Amino acid sequence: MPAIIDYDDVEVGTRIPEREFRIRREDLVRYCGASGDFNVIHWNERAARDVGLPGVIAHGMYTMATAARLVTDWAGDPGSVVDYSVRFSSPVPVPDDDTGATLVASGVVEKKLEDNQVVVNLTVRFDGSKVLLASRATVQLA
């Protein structure tokens, strides 16, 4: 498959450059419909505050999907991820304005496996805090 990154050009320690990803309310509404997760805390300010949240928060799976984009864009193929796991550590509030929330994601190759696969350790921060822990993707390279 057409990965842009060649396995032989990647070493343990190779970095995927940091990128910013912006999430707005509209994106969450689109994600509700596309994913089928209509939990009110992802679109209804009143309901989110009622359960003690600061406001509407992003789906954890939206954050997980965003971190995957860092890897699939790097590899050049959304089909390149063969294993992907995360732990969700803190919520990402998405304010009702034109700016939304900004995630900062980066990655580093921590292992080279057989069959041209590599393990990428992902770091995703919001407001300086990690929002994903133990976030690792195994990626099929060319």
Partner 1 sequence: MPLNRDFVGRRFVADAPFLVGREHIRQFAAAIQDNSPLSHDLEAAKAAGYVDLVAPPTFLTAVALWRPVVPVRDPQLGLDYSLVVHVEQRYSLRRPVIAGDELVVSATIADIRQAGRNELLISEYEFVTTGGELVATARTALASRGTAA
Could you tell me the smallest distance in angstroms from the CB atom of residue 110 to partner 1?
17
List the one residue out of 135, 6, 139 whose CA is nearest residue 82: 139
In the region spanning residues 88 to 107, those forming contacts with partner 1, defined by CB under 8 A, are 88
Q: Judged by CB under 8 A, does residue 128 bind partner 1? A: no
Q: Which two tokens stand for residue 128?
A: 């300086």
**What one-letter code names the amino acid at 129?**
S
In the region spanning residues 20 to 59, those forming contacts with partner 1, defined by CB under 8 A, are 21, 27, 30-31, 33-37, 51
Name the residue nearer to partner 1 (CB basis): 109 or 137.
137
Among 60, 94, 131, 141, binds partner 1 (CB under 8 A): 60
Q: Which two tokens stand for residue 103?
A: 């995630």
List the one residue out of 89, 131, 137 whose CA is nearest residue 110: 137
Name the residue nearer to partner 1 (CB basis): 58 or 109.
58
Burial-class residue 23 by CB neighbours within 10 Å (0-12, 13-18, 19+): buried
Three-state DSSP state, 20:
strand
The overall longest dimension of the chain from CA atoms, in Å, is 52
Stretch that binds partner 1, among 11-19, 69-77, 105-113, 118-126 (CB under 8 A): 69-77
Q: Judged by CB under 8 A, does residue 64 bind partner 1? A: yes
Q: Which residues bind partner 1 (CB under 8 A)?
A: 1-2, 21, 27, 30-31, 33-37, 51, 60-62, 64-66, 68-69, 72-73, 77-79, 81-88, 137
